[in-house]
Amino acid sequence: MALRPLPFLRLTRTYASIASPSPSTSILTDKPLPPPTLPGLSPTQPRTVKSPYTRKTQLHRTYLSLLRSTGLMIFFQHNNLRAMEWVALRRELLFGLRKLDPTSTLAEGTRIMVLKPALFAASLRVAEGYDPQHKRSSEPGGSKIIAKEVEKLKETHPLSPVLTGPVAALSFPSVEPAHLKVALDILFPLKNPKKGLDPLAISGLQKLVLLAGRVDGHIYGGRYGEGRVMDVDLIRVLALLPDIDTLRGELLAMLRGAGGADLIMNLGNIGVGLTRTVDTYRKMLSGELDSDGKPVETKADGEQEK
């Protein structure tokens, strides 16, 4: 006699159906994503076949933005600093800049960044050697000429010998000699370290070597992105200069003391005379003045009717 399974002991199996992925959904794969297709040339950086999602591309863009937006950069060498020493140095620098001017936001904009020297050098060549207007890239063989000129910067750029080994940069959003002096006294003192510093910061100071500096081109009269390199002595001299308001006051006092009041008056009279000449010409065109510059006499209504 065959045994039949009881109805309440029957096992039922259900299987979930997996829907096929639609073309719009993204699936994580190990393959790198292709670069996005851009409608035209970028106005700020050359075309590239590398994916914008990689870390190197993001660092390249970060360095390029830093070079184009930073007024002053100080490069220095760091030798095996620990993480706590970096934290202590950044904290002491922030406190020192805030103590100088509590109302200024320059302290928050000043930062220390550890660089990738080879990648930063490539960004520097793009910032100073790339033609954003694409004037020569449209010529026959123009792209090759630009590539050769940019390659020459590897050997001829003054910062090429500096960007070797462990290098970091201290960036300032604007050139302020007083803030620069405070930063140099904290990070690169000439004699003994500043009193009251954290022992970890003092330990880190012994592993820093000041190398060079760079001022952006729009500050000293060049173009945006192009920079002027300064050595250590010139950086120290820049830190001893007064601020821009003090320099303007000294220049004004010098002009007044050396007979500059007459010069300022004569320069001002040029603008006043030009304004009067243009106004007279306007009145002559409108009919208010005659050819000799005399006002036109308006006739009475009765005389006009006759």
pLDDT at res. 142: 53
Q: Could you tell me what percent of the chain has a pLDDT over 70?
A: 65
pLDDT at res. 25: 46
Encode pLDDT of 49-63 as tens digits: 677 778 888 888 889
Lowest mean pLDDT among 19-33, 148-162, 175-189: 19-33
pLDDT at res. 205: 92
Asked whether the predicted pLDDT for residue 113 surpasses 60, the reply is: yes
Most confident among 46-50, 135-139, 180-184, 191-195 (mean pLDDT) = 180-184
Q: Which of 142-170 are b and which e, b meaning 16 or more Cβ less than 10 Å from the residue's Cβ?
A: eeeebeeebeebeeebebeebbeeebbbb
Domains and CATH numbers, the chain: 55-241 (3.30.70.1730), 249-295 (no CATH)
Helices (H) and strands (E) in the chain, counts: 12, 5
Encode pLDDT of 57-80 as tens digits: 888 888 988 888 888 899 999 999
The pTM (predicted TM-score) of the whole model is 0.64
Asked whether the predicted pLDDT for residue 302 surpasses 50, the reply is: no
Query: For the purposes of burial, counting CB atoms within 10 Å of the CB of 123, is it exposed (0-12), middle (13-18) or buried (19 or more)?
Result: buried
**If you search the block for the tokens 């009475």, which residue do you land on?**
300
Asked whether the predicted pLDDT for residue 305 surpasses 80, the reply is: no
pLDDT at res. 211: 94
Encode pLDDT of 241-252 as tens digits: 888 788 888 877
